[in-house]
Amino acid sequence: MPFSDKDTTPTPSLPRGAKYRGAVVEDLQLPPAFCLPHDAPISLALEAAYEREFDQLPVLNDRRKPIGYLYIPDLKSKFEKGEAGLDDPLSRHVTHFPLSSKTHPYTIISPLTPLEDLEDFFAARNVDFALVTDDERRWVLAVATKADLETFVKRRG
């Protein structure tokens, strides 16, 4: 069987981040984040997630700092199994973020973070989403997901 050119010609690998062409998180055009206080009831989280079609909702402490998140499919499953009630506070079901330390430093993902850095964050932390904050981490602006990156690359072609 004869070989075609594509079988014998090496394909050059793209430089790191070339698929994003210099784009930053802001270019993903993410919807604004919807955050909930840790003492809000589960009913509010389920309603908000349903209305906005979100799978992850950031949870804030009394000082409005992110302490963790709710993964809505897991929360729905707990509710259906009777392991969670509509009036339960979110704090009972939140997945807490690890505390920042020398071995696990906090990584700021801001609107101006290059998309290749966001992709690296997902790979290094083995996570599917990241909170997008301002540079001082005062506000959660959006939630970026691996799916958002994939959609961006497909749109850009």
Cβ atoms of 26 and 113 within 8 Å: the answer is: no
pLDDT of amino acid 138: 83
Residue 65 burial by CB count (10 A; 0-12/13-18/19+): exposed, middle or buried? Answer: exposed
Instruction: State how far the Cα of 129 lies from the Cα of 38, in Å rounded to an integer.
Output: 20
- Give the other-Cβ count within 10 Å of 7's Cβ: 8
pLDDT of amino acid 5: 54
Instruction: State how far the Cα of 66 lies from the Cα of 88, in Å rounded to an integer.
Output: 19
pLDDT of amino acid 154: 92
Mean pLDDT by 10 residues, the chain (157 residues): 55 67 95 94 93 91 91 92 94 87 80 96 91 89 95 88
pLDDT of amino acid 156: 84
DSSP-based three-state secondary structure for 41: strand
pLDDT of amino acid 97: 84
Tokens linked to 92: 């009972």
